[in-house]
Structure 1
Amino acid sequence: MLSYVFIPIIIVLFLVILFSGIFTVRQQKAAILERFGKFKSIKNSGLHLKIPIIDQIAGRINLKVQQLDVLVETKTKDNVFVKLKISVQFQVIRTNIYDAFYKLESPADQITSYVFDVVRAEVPKMILDDVFERKDDIAIAVNRELNESMQDYGYDIIKTLVTDIDPDEQVKHAMNRINSAEREKVAAEYEGEAERIRIVAKARAEAESKRLQGQGIADQRREIARGLEESVDVLNNVGINSQEASALIVVTQHYDTLQAIGEETNSNLILLPNSPQAGSDMLNNMVASFTASNQIGEAMRKKNEEIEQEKKNQDDSRRK
């Protein structure tokens, strides 16, 4: 009767012991198998057998690429406190799984310590601007130091990145003010240059306008002189001498001007003198002025000739 009671119990114990000797390892994982507390073997992904009670799985290790983010606060050469976020990508070397499991208790803490050490040795050598410009140099220095150290523990450092640089809040405000002032300075320089170009262009346009205006006046006077000359020639051909012709032209132009003024209904211009003798008086005054000017010029020419002759005589006397 008792045998019938123990048989199911024995079967259940047998099945439990049997199934305890079967285990699986997931993809990108490795299991460390120990026998009586001593390392026996490393089992990769798949189905495996072990001796129940005698063999034990000491642990499992991740073979995927892992990332550890380390936030380091340090001071730059120009005494600015800054926080750097260092992202370290690492992986267990498949041929060194034993070292990765038994030599190092906490790889994350070990990597963090090395990152702190390297960053706080490199950043204080740089000013804040250099930290931003040379962040790749910091990442290379951290990667080099970690590779040299973590290889002995069975870990390979895939990549090290400086993913964030965060200066003190007051420093960021000061940098923003500096950048804003610099941009305003550049904008003012461009506005000043644009104003200078506008002034130069306006001055050139005005100069060109004056030149063309002067050229137009010169052309107008040249045509007027040519017309007067032709008018005098026509009057000379009909027996009127030059003085009479000039008087006739002046009088004609005088009355033409009066007629043009009279055609303007809203004109406030008053032409003085406005007597019939005005044209003749104007001509007489002009002729008298030209005559006096010619006399003065002739007298000055004769005086200069006398001075030159006197100097020549003195030079001849010295030579003798």
Structure 2
Amino acid sequence: MDNLFTLIPIGIIGFFILLSSFFIVKQQTAFVIERFGKFQSVRNSGLQMKIPIVDRISGRLSLKIQQLDVIVETKTLDDVFVKLKVSVQYVVIRDKVYEAFYKLEYPHDQITSYVFDVVRAEVPKMKLDDVFVKKDDIAIAVKSELQEAMLAYGYDIIKTLVTDIDPDSQVKEAMNRINASEREKIAAQFEGDAQRILIVEKAKAEAESKRLQGQGIADQRREIARGLEESVEVLNRVGINSQEASALIVVTQHYDTLQSIGEETNTNLILLPNSPQAGSDMLNNMVASFTASNQIGEAMKNSKKEKGDK
């Protein structure tokens, strides 16, 4: 019975020791096993076994892609202080877990130091505007430097990105003012072009209007002349000669004008002469004028004939 009570604790201890010899490694994780303080092996995902008491799990490394954000403050070629945020994506190389675990204790510090070194070597060669344009070149330079240095420590640099460029606040305000001034300048140019186009189009419209107006006046006068010609022909048929017909038409238009003025209640137009005898005097004067004009014309024709006969 005493032996039985002695064996039970030993069995329990043995069971727990046996149970502790098994362990599980998760996916995308590597365990480093040491035996008496010396590297023994690297265990990958799955159910693993180690010798109890002799072997121990010294450390764990993630095989997933990790990201480290580094903020670097430096000065550009045109003496502008600027902060750059560089994002470094890196991963432990599966076949170099030993180097990653034993050769480099603080990978974040090592990567940060290289990023600072490269950025502060590249950015001072550029002006501020070039930093924004050539940020990909800065990222490539950082990756190239890191890739070469970190491979020896078991790390692979997947990608580097310059994710933010933050100049000094006063510089940003000045840049915003410059951009606003440029936009106002462009807006003023567009407004000027629009005004010029409106003026040109308005001038074209006015010219076309004047042309059409002139054409209308010409057509109107042509029709008036045609009407006068027909009126003279009608009067000639009833025995009134052309001079008397023309005078009669003018007098008729004179009275038509007086009638038109009389129909306007708010007009302040005065037609002179405007006496009762004005129509008859105008008719007599015009007939006399036409007769004298014809006589002078006949005399000039006869004079030219006589000279031609001589």
Scaled to the shorter chain, the TM-score interval is 0.7 to 0.9
Matches of 2:166 and 2:284, distance apart in 1: 95
Q: Which residue does the alignment assign to 1:231?
A: 231
Matches of 2:201 and 2:181, distance apart in 1: 30
Write the letter of the residue equivalent to 1:242: S
Q: Which residue does the alignment assign to 2:278?
A: 277
Compute the RMSD of aligned alpha carbons. 2.6
Write the letter of the residue equivalent to 2:189: E
Q: Which residue does the alignment assign to 1:210?
A: 210
Per the alignment, do residues 72 and 251 of structure 1 end up closer, same or farther by CA in structure 2, a change over 3 Å counting? same
Q: Which residue does the alignment assign to 1:53?
A: 53
How far apart are 1:4 and its partner, in Å?
6.4
1:142 is paired with a residue of what secondary structure?
helix
Write the letter of the residue equivalent to 1:268: N
1:52 is paired with a residue of what secondary structure?
coil
Deviations 1:17-57 (A, max 9, x none): 33333332222111111222221111112222222222222
How far apart are 1:248 and its partner, in Å?
1.1
How far apart are 1:273 and its partner, in Å?
0.6
How far apart are 1:251 and its partner, in Å?
1.0
Counting matched residue pairs gives: 294
Task: Pick which of 187-196 and 68-77 moved more.
Answer: 187-196
Deviations 1:49-87 (A, max 9, x none): 222222222211111111111111111111111111111
Matches of 1:32 and 1:285, distance apart in 2: 138
Write the letter of the residue equivalent to 1:215: Q
Per the alignment, do residues 36 and 265 of structure 1 end up closer, same or farther by CA in structure 2, a change over 3 Å counting? same
How far apart are 1:286 and its partner, in Å?
7.6
**TM-score scaled by structure 2?**
0.86
Write the letter of the residue equivalent to 1:27: Q
Matches of 1:92 and 1:239, distance apart in 2: 127
Matches of 1:20 and 1:266, distance apart in 2: 121
Deviations 1:215-252 (A, max 9, x none): 11111111112222222222233332222122111111
Per the alignment, do residues 282 and 218 of structure 1 end up closer, same or farther by CA in structure 2, a change over 3 Å counting? farther
**Aligned 1:155-194 pairs, distance under 5 A:** 155-194=155-194
Matches of 1:48 and 1:145, distance apart in 2: 38
Question: Which structure 1 segments of 5+ residues have no match?
Answer: 303-320
Per the alignment, do residues 274 and 242 of structure 1 end up closer, same or farther by CA in structure 2, a change over 3 Å counting? same
Deviations 1:134-153 (A, max 9, x none): 21221111112111111111
Q: Which residue does the alignment assign to 2:88?
A: 88
Matched, 1:69 2:69: yes
Task: Pick which of 238-247 and 281-290 moved more.
Answer: 281-290
Write the letter of the residue equivalent to 2:11: I
Write the letter of the residue equivalent to 1:280: L
Q: Which residue does the alignment assign to 1:312?
A: none
How far apart are 1:255 and its partner, in Å?
1.0
Task: Pick which of 226-235 and 106-115 moved more.
Answer: 226-235
Write the letter of the residue equivalent to 2:58: A
Q: Which residue does the alignment assign to 2:99?
A: 99
Per the alignment, do residues 94 and 273 of structure 1 end up closer, same or farther by CA in structure 2, a change over 3 Å counting? same
Matches of 1:290 and 1:108, distance apart in 2: 119
2:161 is paired with a residue of what secondary structure?
strand
Task: Pick which of 153-162 and 128-137 moved more.
Answer: 128-137
Question: Which structure 2 segments of 5+ residues have no match?
Answer: 305-310
Q: Could you tell me the percent identity over the aligned residues? A: 70
Matches of 1:94 and 1:266, distance apart in 2: 107
